[in-house]
Chains A and B, each alone.
Chain A
């Protein structure tokens, strides 16, 4: 970005340890998070798509569950069962990611101007 376009750049927070947004907007990052389906990688491309959607749904379920726990509408036994289910789901996801050699960063889709899916 041109220096003369920066009207104000203030603050003393050290962000050097983070991959800040200018970096995240770089073409390499966008390329990484695009879904690339070709005849050679149809299996892993499809696995990435499916696992990304499963991960999205898992996170939504987890969020909703936490809202209910926080709202106090669940009994201790229900919370116990919920914990067991969510824990097993997370473990299964980790297993699948390992099987297909995916990292957390792989399980995302760049939606262009809308940003990343997760």
Chain B
């Protein structure tokens, strides 16, 4: 029995080509894809979908493929406003892609305008959790008004509650400390007109994991703002990355 190889279309990204007709095709001819297939554009009005042929059975989800996929998007992001697609987004044919572009055109356009001339940046802030909790614990003990010993019945259960209460207070202090850093940085980001998303306490040491969507020419100001924040908080480590395609700022479901 002969198995027929059905080639489908792997979609990398949706590109806003409005001011650069022709530039996209020239650029695509020089970019390497995951498996050496050529990249090309399926066009609808001002937007294009960048695709390559792909056999679904050859689609492997591993680090090297994911990096190659992201590499294509990153090259294009330097030249166009774009919406990155999830790795493994596939459709049957160019015609079905074109229909999909047509059907979702207003949402694609709206999202593309939102990210135009902007890039995503990531900021992770780390702390030495044990040291920071210890410092906050000392602060908490100083601030707590101690009741006279005679008032407190001492028992194993009471001691257990006291221990838990101490841990709870340290957690609360840690959260308000994180909130104060977020508030401080949000003020800076507002001045830079950046859209931001913050996650708190993603791991024991990673107290803030943030992403920003910022105008490309404000990169220098962002780096300066992070360095200023580092000077104010020497007990923390800051890692700023970017520019990235707007992975976290596309808000739509394809119909």
Contacts and interface: CB of A to CB of B under 8 A. Distances in A.
A76 interface: yes
Interface stretch (A37-45, A47-55, A63-71, A92-100): A63-71
Nearest to A85: B157
Nearest to B241: A5
SS of B interface (majority): mixed
A10 B228 CA distance: 11
B19 interface: no
B242 A15 contact: no
Contact of B128 (A1, A7, A13): A13
B126 interface: yes
Interface string B230-241: 100011111111
Interface in B183-234: 199, 202-206, 209, 219, 222-223, 226-227, 230, 234
A14 B237 CA distance: 9
A10 B238 contact: yes
Contacts of A7: 121, 219, 222-223, 226, 240-242
A14 B128 contact: yes
B242 A70 contact: no
A19 B126 CA distance: 12
B153 A76 contact: yes
Contacts of A70: 165, 168-169
B32 interface: no
A1 B219 CA distance: 19
A20 B227 contact: no
A7 B219 CA distance: 9
A47 to B, nearest CB: 26
A19 B205 CA distance: 8
Considering the complex of A and B, which 5 residue pairs feature the smallest CB-CB distances, nearest first? Answer: A11-B237, A83-B157, A66-B168, A83-B161, A8-B240
Interface of B: 121, 124, 126-129, 131, 152-153, 155-161, 164-165, 168-169, 199, 202-206, 209, 219, 222-223, 226-227, 230, 234-242, 244
21 contacts: A5-B241, A6-B241, A7-B242, A8-B238, A9-B239, A10-B237, A10-B238, A12-B237, A13-B131, A13-B235, A15-B128, A18-B129, A20-B126, A20-B206, A21-B209, A24-B206, A70-B165, A80-B157, A83-B160, A83-B161, A86-B164
Interface of A: 1, 5-15, 18-21, 24, 62-63, 66-67, 69-70, 76, 79-84, 86-87, 115
